[in-house]
Amino acid sequence: MINLRDKQILVTGGAGFLGRQVVQQLLIAGARKDNITIPRSQNCDLRVLENCQKAVFGQDIVIHLAAHVGGIGLNREKPAELFYDNLMMGTQLIQAAYQAGVEKFVCLGTICAYPKFTPVPFKEAELWNGYPEETNAPYGIAKKVLLVQLQSYRQQYGFNGIYLLPVNLYGPEDNFDPRSSHVIPALICKVYEAQQKGETKIPVWGDGSATREFLYSTDAARAIVMATQFYDEPEPVNLGTNFEVSIRELVEMICEVMEFKGEIIWETDKPNGQPRRCLDTTLAQEKFGFVAQMEFKQGLKNTVDWYRQQAR
């Protein structure tokens, strides 16, 4: 176990949706606020090696959350940017951390790294058994390369880097920008705008058959901090709930929570994305005792309530 009290901790993406929750969980776990450093993209572009070197200097632990990420729309529009930005940020930060003698590197991967047709529930051992779903592949592969880098640095240099694979996250303070948001905030926005305009229909991409799994941001942050303290092995670890829900069911739940009675127009000419997503979460429980706590419908309600307050 790592005692966080006297550790200098760098949290990339620490001012973001998940990052703020991770910082809060670090404090709960005993870290000192003054010992946590959060680089900001406007003055610390992690695609530049020199910035990575400055950021990791004097740090004991690096938790790498920063990412250029979005939903299906952004993945289709900017695959090259998503590949390059995520690869360069991660690979240079790992190299800089190794050179600086950082004690531990915690890297957040993505469920998009899994093959398009992975047996459900996804087991970590299946990660290399096929090509990712096409729309997410550039992002997913860029993040998966970082796993190879951490494993090879561990093998050759004894560098302690771990790799975590979260499912889609959701919760208050998520990204609700319709141009780049993931499915839950995008749907909440659509329903809210329809209600504001008095509309009785909303369009939704795909046919509703695809399934997803969602992890509440506070649960995800708690898992990351638990792994930081207790997990020191080369194998990647899934972070999720093992609860699978179809997009059709998700839309119905959001409409119910938001009391929207209108019609759903399924845009079947638009992509569904990966057919199914649901993780085997056994390893996280066995290795560092993580079990998700937030009930899904309550998490949706919390997210909707937060968005409505911000939208006023």
Is 291 part of any known ligand binding site?
no
Is 16 part of any known ligand binding site?
yes
Is 270 part of any known ligand binding site?
no
Residue 89 CA from chain centroid, whole number: 16
Is 168 part of any known ligand binding site?
yes
CA separation for the pair 182, 110 (Å, rounded): 13
Tokens matching residue 181: 């948001």
Tokens matching residue 237: 């670890």
Is 62 part of any known ligand binding site?
no
Tokens matching residue 208: 């509703």
Catalytic option among 139, 170, 216, 307: 139
CA separation for the pair 70, 76 (Å, rounded): 10
Is 51 part of any known ligand binding site?
no
Is 212 part of any known ligand binding site?
yes
Burial 180-214 (b: 16+ CB within 10 A, else e): bbbbbbbbbbbbbebbeeeeeebebbbebebbbbb
Q: How far apart, in Å, are the Cα atoms of 155 and each of 146, 148, 150, 158, 283?
A: 14, 10, 9, 6, 21
Is 182 part of any known ligand binding site?
yes
Is 169 part of any known ligand binding site?
yes
Q: How far apart, in Å, are the Cα atoms of 271 and each of 28, 109, 209, 274, 276?
A: 41, 23, 11, 9, 13
Is 167 part of any known ligand binding site?
yes
Picking from 270, 255, 135, the residue whose alpha carbon sits closest to that of residue 208 is: 270
Picking from 300, 228, 179, 191, the residue whose alpha carbon sits closest to that of residue 1 is: 228
Active-site annotation holds for 98: no
Determine if residue 208 is left, alpha or beta; phi over 0 gives left, psi from -120 to 50 gives alpha, anything else beta. left
Is 13 part of any known ligand binding site?
yes
Is 257 part of any known ligand binding site?
no
Neighbours of 44 (CB within 10 A): 16
- Extract the annotated binding site: 13-19, 143, 166-169, 182, 190, 205, 212
- Extract the annotated binding site for NADP(+): 13-19, 143, 166-169, 182
- Extract the annotated binding site for substrate: 190, 205, 212
Residues forming the active site: 139
